[in-house]
């Protein structure tokens, strides 16, 4: 998909010869895709396609574009918030490219991990790891209705956080949160395959809240959101729908040693800039964003390898990366949390591996955002009690 999008970008800037014909073809396919997506949404609105209601509250986290907008850290944030508010909560994800995607299953029961990353998928396994200390279960399956019923039977949940659920119209929800990248909220404005939009902008009318992710830190610190809110058009975002800016704040998760006497994660922090020569690699939706993060953190980036999203590593591949990094004079390897779940400790043979994670930071908007979420859940409680 990433190669396709690069090709599309080339076509958009070069309309001569074969590229002009390809641009025309992509425009036609994009138009057909748009009609199919609109028709599907209309059939659900008219109830000609069935949307099911589970006997619990559903909070959906999704987007309308391809690529990383922060759905995984946002799902973790919400699950933790809802748990602290006193609800029994679980996360349900598709488990994209995991072996259990079609069959479904439990990644974590809140007490122990039940699947390996290859079965669960990268993001669900990472969420299960992060949510284990709070006892929050994580389930996967492309049939989110069936996974929801499993969560109800096994864990008697009161709230389900639906990861990447905006297009999953088969399941009714109580709160629909859509994430847009603040720098490029709608990509080039075209639907697949001509652009990166998964749905037309009109689909945002289904949202209860829009989050503008990857905002600069000063935006969430000083209430300077006008510039970014202007990026979401009035036609796309209804007045009832609040828009919150959120920054992606990097932090050091761990440093995997080459031996038991090597670097310790507890000795490392973001307090002092780490001007150390490093060699980085990642296989995520936005590798370039990870690279910029490391530069902004103050690392001396001697080399960098980018792989496709959900890339599967092997011991030999990590060994080759480590050897290349040593030849370049690096002192550390650096990767993301999502990549780390697929790398065994025993594969770290040349240099320590520093793992960098991302936290969602609402800054001065934290209280307003969290109160909005809790009020939505409480209003759903009230509706349910009236119905009884």
Which residues 6+ apart lie within 8 Å of 149 measured at CB?
54
Mean pLDDT of the chain: 87
Q: Are 327 and 319 in contact (CB under 8 A)?
A: no
User: Between the CA of residue 230 and those of 176, 185, 206, 236, 240, what are the distances in Å?
Assistant: 21, 11, 19, 11, 16
> Tens digits of per-residue pLDDT, 298-356?
899 999 999 999 999 999 999 999 999 999 999 999 999 999 999 999 999 999 999 99
Q: At a CB cut-off of 8 Å and minimum separation 6, what does 239 contact? A: none
Compute and round to an integer the Cα radius of gyration of the chain. 22
Strand partners, 218: none
216 CB neighbour count, 10 Å cutoff: 13
Q: What is the pLDDT of residue 229?
A: 56
Residue 69 gets which letter from DSSP?
A: S
User: According to the model, what pLDDT value does residue 370 have?
Assistant: 97
Query: Is the entire prediction scored with pTM above 0.85?
Result: yes
DSSP category for residue 171 = B
What are the Cα distances from residue 303, in Å, to 198, 270, 323, 335, 368? 33, 21, 12, 12, 41
**Best CA proximity match to 336, nearest among 288, 383, 370:** 288
Q: Is 44 exposed, middle or buried (0-12, 13-18, 19+ CB in 10 A)?
A: middle
Domains and CATH numbers, the chain: 2-45 (no CATH), 57-247+362-387 (3.40.50.300), 249-360 (3.40.50)
β-pair type (353-361, 300-306): unpaired
**Cα–Cα dist 5/196, whole Å:** 8
Give the pLDDT confidence score for residue 262 in this predicted structure.
Answer: 41
Residues of the chain with pLDDT under 70: 1-19, 224-240, 259-274, 382-388
Rounded CA-CA distance 4/360 in Å is 30
Q: Please, are residues 90 and 155 in contact by the beta-carbon 8 Å criterion?
A: yes
Order of strands across the sheet that contains 353-361 = 247-256, 353-361, 332-336, 277-282, 300-306
pLDDT of residue 68: 86
């Amino acid at each position: 998909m990433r190669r396709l999008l690069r090709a599309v970008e080339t076509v958009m800037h070069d309309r001569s010869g074969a590229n002009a014909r390809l641009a025309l073809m992509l425009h036609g396919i994009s138009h057909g895709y748009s009609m199919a997506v609109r028709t599907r949404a209309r059939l659900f609105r008219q109830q000609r396609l069935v949307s099911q209601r589970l006997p619990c509250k559903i909070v959906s986290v999704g987007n309308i574009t391809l690529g990383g907008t922060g759905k995984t850290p946002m799902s973790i944030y919400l699950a933790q918030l809802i748990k602290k508010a006193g609800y029994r909560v679980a996360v349900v994800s598709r488990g994209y490219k995991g072996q259990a995607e079609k069959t479904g299953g439990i990644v974590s029961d809140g007490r122990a991990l039940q699947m390996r990353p290859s079965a669960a998928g990268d993001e669900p396994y990472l969420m299960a790891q992060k949510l284990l200390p709070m006892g929050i279960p994580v389930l996967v399956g492309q049939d989110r209705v069936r996974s929801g019923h499993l969560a109800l039977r096994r864990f008697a949940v009161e709230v389900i956080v639906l990861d990447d659920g905006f297009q999953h119209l088969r399941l009714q929800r109580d709160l629909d949160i859509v994430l847009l990248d603040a720098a490029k909220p709608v990509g080039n404005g075209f639907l697949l395959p001509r652009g990166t939009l998964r749905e037309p902008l009109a689909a945002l009318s289904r949202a209860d809240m829009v989050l503008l992710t990857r905002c600069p830190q000063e935006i969430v610190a000083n209430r300077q959101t006008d510039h970014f809110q202007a990026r979401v058009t009035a036609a796309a975002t209804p007045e009832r729908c609040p828009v919150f800016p959120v920054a992606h704040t990097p932090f050091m998760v761990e440093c995997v040693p080459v031996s038991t006497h090597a670097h310790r994660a507890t000795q490392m922090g973001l307090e002092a800039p780490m001007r150390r020569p490093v060699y980085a690699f990642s296989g995520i939706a936005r590798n370039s964003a990870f690279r910029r993060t490391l530069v902004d953190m103050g690392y001396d980036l001697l080399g960098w390898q980018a792989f496709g999203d959900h890339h599967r590593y092997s011991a030999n591949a990590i060994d080759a990366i480590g050897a290349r990094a040593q030849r370049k004079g690096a002192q550390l390897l650096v990767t993301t949390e999502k990549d780390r779940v697929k790398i065994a400790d025993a594969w770290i043979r040349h240099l320590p591996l520093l793992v960098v994670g991302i936290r969602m930071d609402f800054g001065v908007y934290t209280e307003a955002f969290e109160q909005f979420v809790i009020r939505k859940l409480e209003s759903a409680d009230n509706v349910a009690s009236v119905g009884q």
